[in-house]
Structure 1
């Protein structure tokens, strides 16, 4: 049997790997399983005859099949800037407390949306976040709604070139807007658009059949994004296509996944979920922002992710196609859909899920597989943030509460560790007495543990408890918009970003920036010091290799955590500090010597001896 120091060394290495490496790739196996299931779905769907007409594909930029491309400026030349693209078409302004923009009356697209409450950087004078932009700008991104006909519809359907009329001066939370257009056959198309104060648009489409023949219409909604978006590329968060599609549940596809999917039409790849029942939604998500089409939750619909990649930048599209509406002469078809377009605030997203009965809409925020830990962690932090107005303070308070919650278990662990240190002389004597008889040595040690009521693995519990807390806090800091640009005190102005200071330019006193690898800030150093103190409270292991590992581990962790969010490092440092106090108190109560100062003296003495040598 290995001695206890060896066991602790192995556990420390294993747990470190779990914390800093393994969980980063936690999604790989489930992702592979999902891909296998989706491949089976694709094979099954490809053998079926589509019972509905095709939605507009992204090759048309969201236009109906065969519609001409829009001319966004005189002569058909694409606009040079976003502002010029916006100005090139008649528009209905959008004005709410949280966003501003406009609806393009040519095509009735929602393609101009700015989030007033969020900035590009923590500097309040920096530019606001631009979510949606029209075609002709650098990065077109828009939502579109309408009808698809089964066969030829007399007089035609509205498309991206259709200029709608409106009865409103502006779209606001208190004043919905009605858009109208009548085709040559007298079919009246009407769209009532309303918006709330946060992130939800409600679109009610109506089509009055003024012809003498019945017509069949299918309602659709889509979000389209042109060009390959910049993504972080971390396994810990999903960016790309997202949705919940009936019994198929949550679907998360990266942009590359859709580009590599089965071909649906020439130059277009994608995935289709037909006749989805039981509710759902489809959309595109970034780290903090998202757009999502929410069809009628009580009716069947077809969901689809597509990508066009032939010639030029790719065009991505998430869309839904509703069930057929057979409209008799003189009757009106109606369809109500919703568009989420904005920041993924937890209370807002959860509120929409509850208010409108949107199936699993809370999964728009990527809580991960450990959502049962991650989400309660967020609620706890948010509660204290609302009380004290500082997420950093909330992290400190939640850490104390977690310490109190696990206090009985931690006290037992530290007490068992203290007892083990107290019987170290007996353990050494047993090892010397039975050095050549490993079986007898193990038996005598186990008898000693039973006699003294010692649990040899009790020292692992404090670290094991910290792992899920560490992961949950990292996830909360990384994915929630509430943590974005949340300041602490002093130099930490964004708890979701690394500590910006660096030891290697004397924390900003020297006039140069340090490379990312050498950006080791104040809080990572404090974390490393607290970890060093905690480890030096125990007797040094006799093995020189183990001794070196434990000596250098705080330094290694300091550099590793330097690139992590500052809020996470603050938690780790504060947790270490509380653990030092707790462990010191328990060791004194059990009469066990705290080896901190002796170990430091030995370390310094060894350094001086080496220097003299």
Structure 2
């Protein structure tokens, strides 16, 4: 081998290793660690039912100075555990098929929400997911609705103690809260809830005084401290909302949904983004959970995303303020607001958008720029799952359907690859004929391609086709809660998490955690399915024609190794898809190449190895 080729060879190996190392160190490793920690750490807060009476001592600071604004300001410092804070004030218990928790009668806050159908880990005894927590508890997170006024004393605030007409809020029985300000205004709040995650709050005020009163409806969600986020570039976590009419403080965005990360809002001038429009919704989105305040969809509102504080824990607030209303003596005014607090189930979110007329509420789920592929992919997977009862099996079936859909196009590509592989001896002969003239080699190769009717780049087409499908499936597996804790077979009990086995622990026989090693531990998460995927990719690469360039040949040889480690921390469902797709591709390519008269030595040798030996004929 010439010195130039040798240098290129080592350069290719170095680049391959560098790519793998950079991916693992800066991306897959840290993300795996976060996922691993989130699976192993339990939320210490929550009783599952939330039935105990409770409340939060203290409250956020006063309203923002100036004109009437949604309440805001710093949340109180941690005063105790969730249970201790909940026990400090009177509460109305929430008891529905999907939600447990309570409403704080001091301030009328929605600050105690537990999701009955979801747990922290796949262990059925692990704690239920706690979404909302009261002010004064760790990770405080709550919602409010009501009225504000330039004269704050005339409207309810977080120190107001409401009177409830019953002790428990259920799907069948709404709760009515009342408060008289002692100055001629009586406020009433009727709270109802469905069997999922939507509260409907009807706030009204009756003016029995001698002077008119001016009020403005508002809704807000406040989150105390930046939550732990997955940090994946394909997933948005943070502020989210759809405000018809655009962005009042900045250039209007091209997408209908407003998505702002926690870090981004802290860098904004004034640490606030303002929007104006009619209706819509706004709140926060996590990977699987979301919250939103939803005004009347025809009412003009001013909305904002904001951050209050310069050091963590910062208070992040999403709020809206409705149109000012003057209530004359003897008159009344009523407004309806909804609060969503729950799991981002696709069917549930879609039903809210359709049945309640909430504008673009389906964008609470981050389908991404390629939603036109991602959403149909989910629909197909979900439909098959409802028949077979296993999302892993559904992934296998969808892979077959995709292969069938692209079968004609892929066949033409594989036929071109077969022709390319067939003329490999002629290409090798050209190299021997012109060993020192690269330009002549390339010229003669192009003439050879023309004579044989070979397109050297046509073999890449199946991979190019697979990329958007792969990305769509990755997005579906990663973002949809339907995939969370979905089992396959054997040791795969959660398709949305990495394969839990590890070759570096002899698949659990050695009692140590190599992923905990500083700096290099994330390299050492390599389960059974990623290994199977690497083997399937190796066989697939062997089916393809070898590149003429030695550098490319070396890089292609390293690809199965690189992808094995890269996919080691990917969701198991995605690795299973990739393995199955590689297997189907190898079978398809072998059939086409054999039919085209191409001898596939690797597979022929394997078949001879495992084939049953034929008995010898006597006398021969």
Instruction: Give TM-score, length-normalised by structure 2.
Output: 0.82
Q: Secondary structure at the match of 1:246?
A: coil
1:99-248, aligned counterparts within 5 Å?
A: 99-149=99-149, 151-152=150-151, 156-248=154-246
1:402-417, aligned counterparts within 5 Å?
A: 402-417=402-417
By how many angstroms is 1:547 displaced?
4.1
Q: Establish whether residue 253 from structure 1 lines up as the match of residue 260 from structure 2.
A: yes
In structure 2, the CA distance between the partners of 1:508 and 1:164, relative to structure 1 (3 Å rule), is: same
Give 5+ residue unaligned stretches, structure 2: 1-7, 28-64, 247-255, 516-521, 608-620
Q: 1:566 aligns with which of 551, 565, 572?
A: 572
- For 2:117 and 2:290, how far apart are their aligned partners in 1? 15
For residues 273-332 of structure 1, what are the alpha-carbon distances to aligned partners after superposition, in whole Å with 9 as ceiling and x for unaligned?
2x423x311101111111101111101101111111157621111101111112111111
- For 1:525 and 1:568, how far apart are their aligned partners in 2? 13
By how many angstroms is 1:431 displaced?
5.3
Residue aligning to 1:34? none
By how many angstroms is 1:574 displaced?
0.5
For residues 397-445 of structure 1, what are the alpha-carbon distances to aligned partners after superposition, in whole Å with 9 as ceiling and x for unaligned?
1011111011001111111111122233444445555667767665554
- For 2:86 and 2:356, how far apart are their aligned partners in 1? 32
Does the 8 Å contact 1:58/1:224 carry over to 2? no
Q: 1:556 aligns with which of 555, 562, 566?
A: 562
- For 1:596 and 1:78, how far apart are their aligned partners in 2? 65
Residue aligning to 1:45? none
Residue aligning to 1:330? 330
By how many angstroms is 1:152 displaced?
3.2
Does the 8 Å contact 2:417/2:544 carry over to 1? no
Q: Secondary structure at the match of 1:562?
A: helix
- For 1:135 and 1:552, how far apart are their aligned partners in 2? 53
Count the aligned residue pairs: 542
- Structure 1 window deviating more from structure 2 (252-261 vs 281-290): it is 252-261
Residue aligning to 2:466? 466
Residue aligning to 1:272? 274
By how many angstroms is 1:258 displaced?
1.8
Does the 8 Å contact 1:206/1:335 carry over to 2? yes
By how many angstroms is 1:583 displaced?
0.5
- For 2:603 and 2:581, how far apart are their aligned partners in 1? 21
- For 2:583 and 2:120, how far apart are their aligned partners in 1? 35
- For 1:262 and 1:55, how far apart are their aligned partners in 2? 20
Does the 8 Å contact 1:499/1:566 carry over to 2? yes
By how many angstroms is 1:550 displaced?
3.0
Q: Establish whether residue 583 from structure 1 lines up as the match of residue 585 from structure 2.
A: no
Q: 1:262 aligns with which of 240, 261, 269?
A: 269
For residues 23-45 of structure 1, what are the alpha-carbon distances to aligned partners after superposition, in whole Å with 9 as ceiling and x for unaligned?
x99xxxxxxxxxxxxxxxxxxxx
Q: 2:527 aligns with which of 510, 521, 526?
A: 521
By how many angstroms is 1:79 displaced?
4.2
In structure 2, the CA distance between the partners of 1:424 and 1:312, relative to structure 1 (3 Å rule), is: closer
By how many angstroms is 1:455 displaced?
2.1
- Structure 1 window deviating more from structure 2 (511-520 vs 156-165): it is 511-520
By how many angstroms is 1:117 displaced?
0.6
In structure 2, the CA distance between the partners of 1:599 and 1:435, relative to structure 1 (3 Å rule), is: farther
In structure 2, the CA distance between the partners of 1:428 and 1:312, relative to structure 1 (3 Å rule), is: closer
1:309-458, aligned counterparts within 5 Å?
A: 309-310=309-310, 313-430=313-430, 444-458=444-458
- Structure 1 window deviating more from structure 2 (438-447 vs 409-418): it is 438-447
In structure 2, the CA distance between the partners of 1:538 and 1:457, relative to structure 1 (3 Å rule), is: closer
Q: Secondary structure at the match of 1:100?
A: strand
CA RMSD of aligned residues (A): 2.9
- For 2:402 and 2:452, how far apart are their aligned partners in 1? 29
In structure 2, the CA distance between the partners of 1:213 and 1:508, relative to structure 1 (3 Å rule), is: same
By how many angstroms is 1:551 displaced?
2.8
By how many angstroms is 1:177 displaced?
1.1
For residues 476-508 of structure 1, what are the alpha-carbon distances to aligned partners after superposition, in whole Å with 9 as ceiling and x for unaligned?
111111111111111111111111111112111
- For 2:299 and 2:582, how far apart are their aligned partners in 1? 54
- For 1:463 and 1:470, how far apart are their aligned partners in 2? 10
- For 1:229 and 1:313, how far apart are their aligned partners in 2? 9
In structure 2, the CA distance between the partners of 1:555 and 1:442, relative to structure 1 (3 Å rule), is: closer
Higher RCO (C-alpha under 8 Å, 6+ residues apart):
2
- Structure 1 window deviating more from structure 2 (351-360 vs 508-517): it is 508-517
Give 5+ residue unaligned stretches, structure 1: 1-5, 26-49, 62-68, 70-76, 264-268, 602-613
Residue aligning to 1:611? none
- For 2:435 and 2:265, how far apart are their aligned partners in 1? 63
- Structure 1 window deviating more from structure 2 (285-294 vs 546-555): it is 546-555
By how many angstroms is 1:272 displaced?
1.6
By how many angstroms is 1:162 displaced?
1.0
